[in-house]
Amino acid sequence: MPTAVGGSPPVPISSALAWAIPGASDRVKRTAAAITGTADRHADLGTPKHLGCTEQNLPARWSARVRRRRSRVVLSSSLLLVHGSLSDRTQWAPLRRALRRLGVAASAYDREPPRPTGEHPPTFAPDIAELRCQLGGLGSRVVVGASYGGAVALAHALEHPSELEALVLVEPTLLGLLPVPEQAQPLSEPIDDVALADFCDAMAGQGTWERSSERSRQELRAMAPALAEESRRLVAFRPLPEALAGLRVPTLVATAGRSPAYFREIAARLERVLPDARRVHYQDAGHDLPVSHARELAEALAAFLR
């Protein structure tokens, strides 16, 4: 059983911009391209953008085995991959290639950049509607969500559990599950270069922003308004313990040892409260583990689904 990292003081979320950049790589030559989703842009892209949808180390790879409790998942459809913030579907290219080598099909899509809807408090309703459209178009029954995409995936599962055979959450940004959720505050606008630099350095290593090209920085600046709205939705989402305890969908939670500690706190809470949860931890990985540890994560997914 993996050991959760606990007891660390809560992180001021708003100061670290600490969520969703699973497409980032800690290797200098790939960092800027991976952060903005430009790496592998023409390779292995997955599904068309929206399918017409609208809003209607251990050196041996894992630091722990995947823990199984009750159910065994039998895969009958392809996986649908939901990316995090400041990224697009190309962040999944390394994982999709690794899954394909194991005989597991996976598709990805570009999430529509979130905009304010006038809801108070804001919800994941537009994200869930888009996700459901993708599931219906592809016939998928397994969702894999990373960071912000993981929060969306869990929200969907809580509302529509019958639509899923399994759920995979890769360091989901479930700020409402933190010991002191009130400490997480939405980001202030406009999000300037200082804030973007803090975000990139927190998620992909110190100096990431400084090493990035101006073109990459421009792409990140263009995504900043969507990041602000995502922060509002993340802060507002506080699933009730009884709702989580009632979710019978088999769930795999993946964490990384070099990410901010609160991701492991969130995962530990999920592992305790979900009735059919398993967890796998990569001690030498960061928040970009779908890129840096694509092969290892693919092996964990294949084992979980078979």
pLDDT tens digit sequence for 175-212: 999 988 777 777 777 889 998 898 788 777 788 899 99
**Which of the two residues, 13 and 121, has the higher pLDDT score?**
121
User: Going from the N-terminus, what domains does the chain have, and what CATH number goes with each?
Assistant: 13-305 (3.40.50.1820)
Lowest mean pLDDT among 36-45, 105-114, 149-158, 246-255: 36-45
Compute the distance between CA of residue 266 and CA of residue 253 in angstroms, rounded to an integer: 10
Q: What is the pLDDT of residue 60?
A: 29
Distances (CA, A) of 7 to 172, 182, 241, 265: 19, 17, 21, 9
Pairing of strands 277-282, 166-170: unpaired
What digits encode the pLDDT tens for the residues 21-40? 333 333 322 333 333 333 33
Its pTM stands at: 0.78
Closest CA to 146 of 255, 251, 222: 255
**Which of the two residues, 97 and 48, has the higher pLDDT score?**
97
**Which of the two residues, 205 and 43, has the higher pLDDT score?**
205
Sheet holding 251-256, edge to edge: 106-108, 79-82, 142-146, 166-170, 251-256, 277-282
pLDDT above 90 covers what percent of the chain? Answer: 57
What digits encode the pLDDT tens for the residues 112-136? 999 888 889 999 999 999 999 999 9
